[in-house]
Amino acid sequence: MPQLVPSHRRLLACFATCLALAHPPASSAQTWRDIQSPHFRVVTDGSEKDGRDVAKEFEQMRSVFAARFENLTLETGAPLLIVAVREPGLHALAPRFWKERDKLAGEFFQGWERKYAMVRLDSFGDLNQAVIFHEYTHSIFHANVHWLPAWLDEGLAEFYGYTRFQGDHIYIGAPSVRYAHLRSDPLIPVPEMLTANDRTFFKDERRNDLFYGEAWAMVHYMTFGDGMGHGAKLNNFMRLLESGTPQPQAFQQAFGDPKAFESQLSDYIKRFTFAAGVMPPMQSLDPKSFPAKVLTKAEADYNLGSIDLGAHDSSAAKIRFQAAEVADPNLAGPHEELGFLVWREGHDDDAKTEWQKAIAADPSSYRSSFALLMSGNPPLKQQTPQQLDQTRHALEAIHATAPRFAPAVVELALIQWRQGQLNPAYKSALEAEKLEPWRAEYHLLTARILLQGRQPAVAATYARQVADRWPGSDHDEAVDVWNLVPAASRVDGPPLTLSLPPDTTVARGTILSTSCDKPGVTVTLQPTGPNTPPLKLIATGPFENGFADTLWVGEDHYTPCFHLGGLPAVVAYKPSPGDTPRLMVLEVRDDLPALNLPTPAPPTPAPTAATPHP
């Protein structure tokens, strides 16, 4: 764990997002360059110097984390592509995203398998790049710790996001632009800050800005304030969180009474000036040594399409990838991404053809190899012992090619579990946790393997930690795991209950089919239980859609429209007399191996629900 140091969250799904209209993006005929620094790749329509300057700042930002934190993982399984664009060509990138966002200096798109930073050259170089470095900070910490409370997650991102590079010095701890709110508005009580999540103040812009500003101030005080040990107390607090200590106890141990801390914080904010950390720049960093090349049109279209994809503008991305494919059929990237796009549209055979082309063009295309393997074989539960062996060997080869690609490690753990190899399965599950510690249901996979291995108390600890820290379907699946633990082995604490809306009817079962045709998203479920007829539900507007992190398609390629048949699910709906019941919540589970337990524990009731949760 670093020394200073959202599962799945429910997603708001809407039928309209499934049917985006195609439109041609602006031309990429201008010259695009590719700049390679030691740890970053920048694609730019500016000069070589422009690209190298951007790469240099990212390298310096990376050096801040390397210097400030011990044992910090700085490379993740999701490579980062930086696109630095001049203002005239800005709206050629992700046009749907930029509508009504003209004033942004850039954006950082977080994906599971890829990350993208979009930088405006006309404003990069001043504090406008804070939005990029804020999100880059998130990506670093999310690759190193299991969970952070919202105030600390955002406070660290604000604290490091405003890092300044001036002359021969790097300054950390510069004030956030939201600092002004701290001088004009009463502070949010610290106990309220500790329990807030990223949507608590979402509808109140001023209070939301105050939350971010106060989160920055809390981290600044914990780093530079008197009696904070130059960040030692913050280090201790993070260690306690990572070890599983509940936040209230961890805060009390590290900082004392929250009310007393609030008084000290208030006095600290009233100071006229703030301290800042000063670091020397990287002495060995010579931007002129960064290799540069001019991209072909196919390469440019592929990279710009990737940015469109990161901004969830799949229509623009598809047009670019198709143009790149025509311009250079031997370029692997466009085939790979087109494969995932048409997979999401339900064109499975076309997707497999594209992935085969990607592998033929570049045998190291591990994402295509993984997708082709998982989509071309029967589900793991239907595979024969010989097929499981073949799939395991193929996954091991993918893992050797891409050792930081966590989904392949998860599937390895599931196969090893099915083969009765619990110790290897446990080690693989732990490896996946280490690669992607922010994935709640990776921890629950470990918990289930521990439960199968007759370690119920440890499994219960895992389940309670996830249930206490993650919302939505992550929380609910943790409750399911906790309910499987024999009552005598459950950890102390209040009973855990599902978080489904109390004014809904709840059902569990197996998904028979899903579709996203007009008038909305339709789900047909075979409820659990004898002689129960299929249940048809429809969502004509937004609904909450959560899904297991262990599903091989992952966050980047999941859709409620296709590929869910045969999977377990929990639904919450409102009956409509004479009409199809209205779907409110769809939680899709992974079809994991059945647990062989001595005596299953009875489910915990949800006393506030209109219908008891199964």
Query: Could you read off the pLDDT of 531-557 as tens digits, one per residue?
Result: 999 999 999 999 999 999 999 999 999
Whether residue 378 is predicted with pLDDT greater than 70 in this model: the reply is yes
DSSP code, position 124: B
Residue 458 vs residues 278, 414, 436, 469, 486: alpha-carbon distances, Å: 43, 19, 20, 17, 12
Three-state DSSP state, 603: coil
Range among 4-18, 24-38, 76-90, 99-113 rated most confident: 76-90
pTM confidence score: 0.88
pLDDT (0 to 100) of residue 427: 98
Query: Could you read off the pLDDT of 299-311 as tens digits, one per residue?
Result: 999 999 999 998 8
Residue 11 vs residues 304, 469, 483, 587, 588: alpha-carbon distances, Å: 26, 17, 25, 10, 12
| Residue-range domain boundaries for the chain | 175-275, 505-588
- Mean pLDDT along residues 381-399: 97
Cβ–Cβ < 8 Å for 422, 452: yes
Domain 505-588 has CATH 2.40.50: yes
Determine the angle formed by the axes of helices 440-452 and 422-435, rounding to 10 degrees.
160
End-to-end CA distance of the chain: 38
Whether residue 19 is predicted with pLDDT greater than 80 in this model: the reply is no
Closest CA to 145 of 251, 243, 65: 243
108 vs 342, more confident = 342
pLDDT (0 to 100) of residue 199: 79
The rounded percent of the chain whose pLDDT value lies above 90 is 68
* Per-residue tokens: 84: 């630095």
Cβ–Cβ < 8 Å for 56, 37: yes
Sequence-ordered list of residues with C-beta below 8 angstroms from that of 399, at least 6 positions apart, any chain:
405, 408, 409, 412
Measured distance CA(613)–CA(601) in Å, rounded:
15
Query: Could you read off the pLDDT of 227-281 as tens digits, one per residue?
Result: 999 899 999 999 999 998 999 999 999 999 999 999 999 999 887 566 677 877 7
Concatenate the DSSP letters of all residues of 35-51 into one string.
Answer: EE-SS-EEEESS-HHHH
Concatenate the DSSP letters of all residues of 93-114 into one string.
Answer: SSHHHHTT-TT--EEEEE-SS-
Phi, psi of 505 (to 5 degrees): -95, 140
DSSP code, position 189: P
Tell me how crowded residue 213 is: count the other CB atoms within 10 A of its CB: 26
